[in-house]
Amino acid sequence: MIDMPSLPIGGARISYEIDGDTGPLVVQLHGLTSSRERDALLGLDMGRALRGHRVLRVDARGHGQSTGTPREADYGWDALARDLLALLDDVAPGERVHGVGPSMGTGTLLHAAVADPARFASLTLVTPPTAWKRRRGQRDVYRAHAELVEAQGSAALRVADRAAPVPPAMAFAPDTVLSIPEPLLPTVLRGAAATDLPRKSQIRGITVPTLILAWTKDRTHPMKTARRLAELVEDSTLVVARTPYGVMAWPALFAEHVTMSEARAADTAARIG
């Protein structure tokens, strides 16, 4: 494995890579127990269809090539948002960026956009996770998974994950391994159990163009959350994938969303000027 650049933030080293030398910056996150490398294997590298942009791919703390910390609270989406904003302050000071990420990445982006709305030029929320009232059941699942890992190891969690229903849109996804070291995994899972999306009133304040990419028949990433986010964010578009072909279209849809957002911003600036 090639060592990538990393930045010390809050007791961890956050690993990242930047593709491209010029153009607006896109920051790409990933989901719980995944990494930028694993998401690429799963076909969730949303930045691969972009041209004329720099793409910053980040491994969240405790995931992939990033190191972790022993505090459960460090893995809440609000804490990961603080990591993200600190990283952006270092690698892209003062720049407005386009943010994209699935599940945990969506939670991180929403908290970051609420905390620093001027930082983002657009958002793309991929497979939004359980939230608000539905989050209560997911908390129990993650806590049970943490206890399973402590009792039987991460291999037992992989067996349980394989037995879970697979969304039709991911029917042909390759088998991959978890991207968190086993000793840290229970802490990360309990941190995920304790977190949630920002309050609905806060999400209503998001004004940047927002694309929501969802898929069907997934209890962990329910359509109910995606639809509610589409209602809350006024300038949003919801696209639903029901087959693997729908997911294959997502990188192109994301690239179109980014370029259209930039064109709209340029047109607004020209009219004001």
pLDDT tens-digit profile of 104-145? 999 999 999 999 999 999 999 999 999 999 999 999 999 999
Q: Which of 176, 182, 245 has the alpha carbon at shortest distance from 30?
A: 176
Q: CA-CA distance, 72 to 251, in Å (whole number)?
A: 33
263 pLDDT above the threshold of 80: yes
Task: Kindly report the pTM of this predicted structure.
Answer: 0.96
Q: CA-CA distance, 110 to 242, in Å (whole number)?
A: 25
Which domain, by its residues, includes 50?
A: 6-272
**Tally of structural domains, the chain:** 1
pLDDT digits (tens, 9 = 90+) for 134-185: 999 999 999 999 999 999 999 999 888 888 888 999 988 888 889 999 999 9
Q: CA-CA distance, 188 to 260, in Å (whole number)?
A: 36
- Residue 1 within a domain: no
CATH of residue 135's domain is 3.40.50.1820
- Residue 73 within a domain: yes
33 pLDDT above the threshold of 90: yes
- Residue 221 within a domain: yes
pLDDT digits (tens, 9 = 90+) for 203-229: 999 999 999 999 999 999 999 999 999
Q: Tokens 């259209």 map to which residue?
A: 260
The C-alpha torsion from 202 through 207 and 210 to 212, rounded to 10°, is: 30
Q: What is the pLDDT of residue 165?
A: 86
Q: CA-CA distance, 116 to 134, in Å (whole number)?
A: 26
Q: What is the mean pLDDT of the chain?
A: 95
